[in-house]
Amino acid sequence: MILTHSGKKPTIHPTAYVAPTATVCGNVSIGAHCRIMFGACLVAEGGSIKIGTHCIVLENAVIRSTSRHSTRIGDHCLIGPNAHVTGCTLKDEVFIATGAAVFHGAVLEARSEVRVNGVVHLKTNLPEEATVPIGWVAVGDPASILPPDQHDAIWNIQEPLNFPLVVYGYDRSEASMIKITERMSKFLSSHADDQEA
């Protein structure tokens, strides 16, 4: 489904393929020879999504942008099934495996990869050709790549990045699920006016 959102219509190169059950919504640009497969969801809300050439977005992957964080994906990138990529930059030839997550403000340099269920946290800079192992977490700039059982070490780097402020606009000291969900509900209500493009 191709949808116009907030007056912005996706642009899809004529050589690209978007599966009939994929959703492409808003200010999204899909480059030549890309393949957006079944159930994938590309939603630009405020910011834009720009995908280079020969990129593969597999089943049920989610790519998002927000008003604070656009998403840029270079050429020859592959985003695996059930991966989640939002408000970040992937340079050329980046591999995001099944179930991996890349968060707001992260930059993944060329030929880096995030393996199955790996996480690249917000504002993290993953160096060229770096690998986040299966289930591990990359956090910080420059990235520290840590196993998931190192929660305290991860949190020491992550806490000052202030996820609630970066993502939801509330400092950690004032964030609550009431404030976050009410703000998001109001913002997401803009989708009621989406139209097939």
Mean pLDDT of the chain: 96
Q: How confident is the model at residue 103, as a pLDDT?
A: 97
Evaluate whether 148 touches 130 at the Cβ level (below 8 Å): no
For residues 134 and 113, what is the distance between their CA atoms, to the nearest angstrom? 10
DSSP secondary structure string, the chain? -EEEBTTB--EE-TT-EE-TT-EEESSEEE-TT-EE-TT-EEEESSS-EEE-SS-EE-TT-EEEE-SS--EEE-SS-EE-TT-EEES-EE-TT-EE-TT-EE-TT-EE-TT-EE-TT-EE-TT-EEPTT-EE-TT-EEETTTTEEE-TT-HHHHHHHHGGG-HIIIIIS--TTT--HHHHHHHHHHHHGGGGG-EE-
At 113-126, the pLDDT tens digits run 999 999 999 999 99
Q: How confident is the model at residue 46, as a pLDDT?
A: 84
Mean pLDDT of 150-165: 93
Q: How confident is the model at residue 61, as a pLDDT?
A: 98
pTM here?
Answer: 0.93
Confidence of residue 44 (pLDDT cuts 50, 70, 90): very high
Domain boundaries, the chain: 2-196
In a 13 Å sphere around the CA of 27, the CA atoms on its Cβ side amount to: 16
In a 13 Å sphere around the CA of 78, the CA atoms on its Cβ side amount to: 10
AA identity, residue 110: A
Confidence of residue 70 (pLDDT cuts 50, 70, 90): very high
CATH number of 2-196: 2.160.10.10
Q: How confident is the model at residue 96, as a pLDDT?
A: 98
